[in-house]
Chain A
Amino acid sequence: MDDGRPIFLQIAEQIENSVIDGSLPEEGQVPSTNELAAFHRINPATAAKGINQLVDDGILYKKRGIGMFVSPGAQAKLRQRRRDQFAALYLQPLLAEAAKLGIHTSELKSMIERYEENR
């Protein structure tokens, strides 16, 4: 796990990523706290904190005595949230570096297009 951020946030994010890319489908069962703890070699209380945050967010819900499941509509909700964060997380550093190097926005646009074509 990465040192800088709380582990429970990283656990929550990994589950979110699986929901966004569809590998954890809506109504699908999420690994248990103890499974997550053993897999990531972390304290079970920390894994539980990550799961609980997703429950509070409405991304997961609990079926009593069975486990945690992905809520209906979770995928769309997470996509929207990540879109809202996209500019701050990815555009801002890109534009800051571009400004440092004297790359204008129009030049940046054509760079992105060229990069897409050659990919």
Chain B
Amino acid sequence: MSTVVRVSGVTKRYGSVTALDDVSCELQRDRIYGLLGRNGAGKTTLMQVLTGQQIATAGAIEVFGAHPYENAQVLRQVCFIKESQRYPDTFRVRDAIFAGRMLFPNWDEAFAGRLLQDFDLPAKRQIKKLSRGMLSALGVTIGLASRAPLTFFDEPYLGLDAVARQLFYDRLLADYAEFPRTVVLSTHLIDEISDLIEHVLLIERGRLVLDESAESLRGQVVTLTGPASAVDTLTANADELHRERLGALTRATVRGRVEPGQARAAGVELQPVSLQQLVVRITTAEQKEHVS
């Protein structure tokens, strides 16, 4: 497995605001990453730093073995699809497609054409006249057809309906299977992508709080509902994320292994926690810690 991105001790400050706080992580070749976190957590800043659009205040960055800032050699291999991408005023859809063809060495024109059809995007339409959803569809089309070895999608779905989003996920998966590359999906719609991603990066208040394979996170967090004493015994060694109580009944969400057999025998109901719920629990727990 080779490493395409190395981030070590990266901090980014804007005046008194710390957007990234000592972040270290690596991205491996040909994996799909989920970059998760609340609004303002620092996801976009991290992607901007990795694509040479911002300079880190401290720390070291390597993308394909070099620093990305004003480095054409590196940037040609990187595609960054932003939620708020701006295009020149006079641009039509086909001009953006043409720009993609010029910029990305692995660009697949036929694939781009199929995606425009899939998303019902008229090639002659002026980009400033596109609806929010069509604008997102254009970004998705360019991001997929670029086949860039490192592709970032920053909330690419704004305005896309459920059918169009499913189309995006299906096309991404099929094309990735045929042309593996490193993909970073930054999204709030975690349930929709939890089965697509291989690895989870969770950022909270500029800090990286989770860097784990999606498979190992499955079943790692559970909710137990049952008599308080039984729940307490079962969760004695686990990391508690949340707890609520109703009369004699306690519900606790914990990170750690709980034996299903033991739980059943104690009359405690075990429920798996989805990746989305896990992210909610972890980020809320972090927030509480921060406040207290």
Contact = CB atoms under 8 A, between A and B. Distances in A.
A72 interface: no
Contacts of B273: 3
Interface stretch (B77-85, B173-181, B240-248): B173-181
Interface stretch (A36-44, A58-66, A76-84, A103-111): A36-44
A33 B180 CA distance: 13
Given A45-B198, A46-B198, A5 B219 contact: yes
A37 B219 contact: no
A42 B215 contact: no
Interface in B195-225: 195-198, 214-216, 218-219, 222
B6 interface: no
Contacts of A43: 32, 173, 195-198, 214
B118 interface: no
A41 B265 contact: no
B196 A6 contact: no
Contacts of A14: none
A7 B266 CA distance: 28
Interface in B41-96: none
B13 interface: no
Interface size class of B (residues with CB under 8 A): 20 to 34
B234 to A, nearest CB: 16
Given A37-B177, A38-B173, A38-B177, A6 B198 contact: no
Contacts of B196: 41-43
B105 interface: no
Candidate in B31, B214, B271, B275 with the most chain A CB atoms within 10 angstroms: B214
Contacts of A5: 218-219, 272
A28 interface: no
Contact of A6 (B218, B265, B271): B218
A38 B219 CA distance: 23
A34 B174 CA distance: 8
B31 A45 contact: yes
Given A42-B196, A43-B196, A92 B261 contact: yes
Given A43-B197, A45-B31, A4 B218 contact: yes
B264 interface: yes
B286 interface: no
A1 interface: yes
A37 B173 contact: yes
17 contacts: A3-B272, A5-B219, A5-B272, A6-B219, A7-B218, A8-B215, A34-B174, A37-B173, A38-B170, A38-B177, A41-B169, A44-B177, A46-B198, A46-B214, A88-B261, A92-B264, A93-B264
Given A43-B195, A49-B215, A96-B264, 9 more contacts: A2-B272, A3-B272, A4-B219, A7-B195, A41-B173, A43-B173, A44-B177, A45-B198, A46-B195
Interface of A: 1-8, 33-34, 37-38, 40-46, 49, 88, 92-93, 96
